[in-house]
């Protein structure tokens, strides 16, 4: 009788040891996006690359726009790019040298569990300051953090934004 109890207890513990790691891979425990801003003086353009967790973005956009993106599946919405562009235009704002600038949406790329967005601002002669307002995913995930890394010439600057502090200024 005691042996069967120990055996059952042992089996339950092993089952838990197998299940817990599987559950931890089903969703991540941190919420972070990375926005990289680089000024290309030769082309007088600011190139922006944003990477976010695909599952977080999908949840956010599905809820925000009442759609069902089904990213990277055969049932992915044909016009998903429309929602990506619209969301980024609403949630990311940039001022260069105190002047609001609109970015061009170049495209996106899926890589494992990340989605990369490529944006560009043209006709920038020089950069003294970049003001960034980044609200990507912050309304959907209160613990979301948005890291902004920039490079202008040889100068590198970074700021970390979140739902309570979604605006930052980079000085060069």
Residue among 169, 161, 166, 162 nearest 130 (CA): 169
Which residue's structure tokens are 């043209």?
A: 122
Percent of the chain at pLDDT > 90 equals 78
pLDDT band at 28 (very low <50, low <70, confident <90, very high): low
| Boundaries of every domain in the chain | 30-171
pTM, 2 dp: 0.81
Give the angle subtended at the CA of 98 by the CAs of 96 and 101, to the nearest 5°: 45
- What digits encode the pLDDT tens for the residues 81-129? 999 999 999 999 999 999 999 999 999 999 999 999 999 999 999 999 9
Pairing of strands 145-152, 32-40: parallel
């Amino acid at each position: 009788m005691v042996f069967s109890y120990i055996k059952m207890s042992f089996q339950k513990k092993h089952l838990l040891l197998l299940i817990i790691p599987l559950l931890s891979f089903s969703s991540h425990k941190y919420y972070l996006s990375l926005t990289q801003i680089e000024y290309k003086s030769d082309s007088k353009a600011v190139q922006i690359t944003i990477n976010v967790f695909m599952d977080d973005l999908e949840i956010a956009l599905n809820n925000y726009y009442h759609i069902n993106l089904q990213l990277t599946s055969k049932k992915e919405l044909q016009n998903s790019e429309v929602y990506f562009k619209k969301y980024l235009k609403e949630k990311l704002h940039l001022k260069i040298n105190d002047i609001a600038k609109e970015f061009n949406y170049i495209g996106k790329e899926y890589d494992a569990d990340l989605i990369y967005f490529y944006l560009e601002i043209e006709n920038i002669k020089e950069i003294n300051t970049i003001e960034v307002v980044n609200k990507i995913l912050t309304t959907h995930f209160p613990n979301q953090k948005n890291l902004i890394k920039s490079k202008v010439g040889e100068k590198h600057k970074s700021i970390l934004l979140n739902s309570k502090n979604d605006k930052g200024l980079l000085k060069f």
